[in-house]
Structure 1
Amino acid sequence: MTEQELWKAYLSMLPEELASTLHYTAWHFCDNEADANELAELVLAGVKRGTASSLWTYDITGDPVPVVGERSVILDWSGNAKCVIQTTHMDIVPYGEVTEAFAAIEGEGDKSLAYWRAAHEAFFTRECERLGLIFDESMPVICEQFEVVYKPL
Structure 2
Amino acid sequence: MKNASVAAMCRDYFQLIDEPERELAHWYFCDNQKDADECAELVLQGVKRATSPSLWWHQSSGEPLAKPGDLNVVTNWQGDAVCIIETVAVNVVPFSEITAEYAFLEGEGDKSLSYWQRVHWDYYHRELEGTGFVPSQTMPIVCEEFRVVFPT
Same-fold call, TM cutoff 0.5: yes
Instruction: Tell me the residue number matched to 2:38.
Output: 38
Verify the 8 A CA contact 2:74 2:83 in the aligned structure 1: yes
* CA drift at 1:15: 2.8
Aligned ranges 1:1-153 → 2 under 5 Å: 2-16=5-19, 19=20, 24-152=24-152
- Secondary structure at the counterpart of residue 149 of structure 1: strand
CA distance in 2, matches of 1:133, 1:147: 30
| Percentage of identical aligned residues | 40
> SS at the partner of 1:59?
helix
Q: Distance in 1 between matches of 2:99 and 2:38?
A: 23
Paired residue total: 149
Residue aligned with 1:136, SS: coil
Deviation at 1:24, TM superposition (A): 2.3
Q: In 2, Cα distance between the equivalents of 1:23 and 1:50?
A: 22
**Counterpart residue identity of residue 95, structure 2:** Y
- Following TM superposition, by how much is the alpha carbon of 1:23 offset from its aligned partner in structure 2, in angstroms? 5.2
Amino acid in structure 2 at the alignment position of 1:80:
D
1:87-146 deviation digits (Å, cap 9, x = unpaired): 001110111111100000010001000000001000001111232321111110000100
Structure 1: gaps spanning 5 or more residues: none
RMSD, aligned CA: 1.3
Tell me if structure 1 keeps the 8 A contact 2:96–2:137: yes
Answer yes or no: is the 8 Å Cα contact 2:10–2:23 preserved in 1: no
Separation (CA, whole Å) in 1 of partners of 2:40 and 2:62: 25
Normalising by structure 2, we get a TM-score of: 0.93
User: Aligned partner of 2:67: which letter?
Assistant: V
Whether contact under 8 Å (1:93, 1:142) holds in the other structure is: yes
Assess if the C-alpha contact under 8 Å between 1:6 and 1:81 holds in 2: yes
